[in-house]
């Protein structure tokens, strides 16, 4: 992790990874549902058109075809927007992919409130909760564009179903371009002693910003990048809160069923410490610029700072 990074879109680096996989692996196939330009699967289409399937606006069929290709030995990537990937074809994912544990990678773009002006109909705020509930499903939310590339390469090697979510907008990179990625392993990006900040997706960058602001107040915050939401790296959670004694989770997703819930499930079994959750509440989004919406729905670094101070204040209280 370094300072002064570029702002990049994760989906662009997903496209780069697919193009590289096209050259390296003949068993990789990619499917899209009439959004190849937006999901950047068009990069794979250019590199290996004979292994690209444009299904059209038929997401359920896309998942069924992907499952069939996986059953015949292919590594199938299927992409669309998050609201469609997690909602419109949920039954097909449950029965055709998760139940038989087939090698299908469902990679969704345009997730979270920062989808912006497209509004509530296109802002996936519950997709991780939906996918976390499915047995056999791995759930990943990379921290930035570079990690999105590394995660794509990693899930191609993983034998089994994966759901990976990415945003639409550009946001700051916090990783090195050659970052490594291991499914199920968190990374401590900043050591601290007073409070643990656990983030996923673009909220990891906000956690880093919040940690700097907290340092200005004399508070030492540890930042943990929890890019794999399922399986959760419980050992990393326990080790960090064992030092700090309190915790904040931050996600561009509902606080119901996502990263915050996963960490709470971990902590209630192992560590009785204060936990505050930064995320959207029990609500849909609305139209607006990404910056306006992140502010209105309480997903800024300042909101993480406030949650950290609240969590610290709860230490030692019944």
Q: What positions carry a catalytic annotation?
A: 59
DSSP state of 255: S
Tokens of 50: 């004979």
184 vs 232: CA distance, rounded Å:
6
Closest to 303 in 3D by CA, of 218, 222, 199: 199
Burial of residue 270 (number of CB atoms within 10 Å: 0-12, 13-18, 19+):
middle
151 vs 184: CA distance, rounded Å:
11
Helix (H) or strand (E) holding 80: strand 75-81
Tokens of 229: 């939401």
Beta pairing partners, 52: 30
Closest to 313 in 3D by CA, of 253, 273, 257: 273
CB 197 within 8 A of CB 304: yes
Closest to 165 in 3D by CA, of 56, 79, 274, 270: 79
Helix (H) or strand (E) holding 296: helix 290-296
Rounded to 10 degrees, the C-alpha dihedral 207/259/16/28 comes to 160
Any residues with CB less than 8 A from the CB of 165 and at least 6 apart, and which?
82, 108, 111, 112, 124, 127, 128, 139, 140, 141, 201
């Amino acid at each position: 992790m370094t300072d002064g990074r570029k702002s990049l879109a994760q989906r662009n680096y997903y496209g780069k990874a697919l193009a590289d996989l096209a050259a390296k692996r003949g068993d990789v196939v990619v499917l899209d549902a009439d959004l190849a330009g937006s999901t950047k699967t068009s990069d794979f289409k250019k590199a290996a058109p004979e292994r690209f399937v444009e299904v059209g606006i038929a997401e359920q069929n896309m998942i069924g075809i992907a499952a069939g290709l996986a059953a015949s030995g292919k590594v199938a990537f299927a992409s669309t927007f998050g609201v469609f990937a997690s909602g419109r074809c949920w039954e097909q994912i449950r029965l055709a992919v998760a139940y038989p544990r087939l090698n299908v990678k469902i990679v969704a773009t345009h997730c979270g409130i920062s989808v912006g002006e497209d509004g509530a109909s296109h802002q996936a705020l519950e997709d991780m909760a939906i996918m976390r509930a499915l047995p056999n499903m791995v759930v990943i939310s990379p921290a930035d564009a570079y990690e999105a590339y590394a995660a794509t390469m990693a899930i191609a090697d993983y034998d089994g179903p994966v759901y990976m979510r990415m945003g639409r907008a550009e946001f700051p990179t916090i990783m090195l371009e050659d970052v490594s990625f291991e499914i199920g392993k968190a990374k401590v990006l900043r050591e601290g002693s007073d409070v643990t900040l656990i983030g996923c997706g673009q909220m990891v960058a906000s956690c880093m910003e919040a940690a700097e602001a907290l340092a200005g107040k004399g508070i030492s915050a540890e930042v943990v990048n929890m890019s794999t939401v399922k399986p959760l790296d419980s050992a990393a959670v326990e080790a960090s809160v064992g030092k700090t004694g309190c915790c904040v989770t931050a996600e561009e997703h509902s606080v119901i069923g996502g990263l915050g819930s996963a960490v709470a499930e971990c902590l209630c079994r192992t560590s009785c410490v204060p936990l505050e959750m930064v995320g959207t509440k029990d609500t849909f989004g609305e139209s607006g610029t990404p910056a306006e919406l992140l502010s209105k729905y309480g997903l800024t670094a300042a909101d993480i700072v406030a949650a950290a101070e609240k969590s610290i204040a709860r230490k030692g209280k019944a």
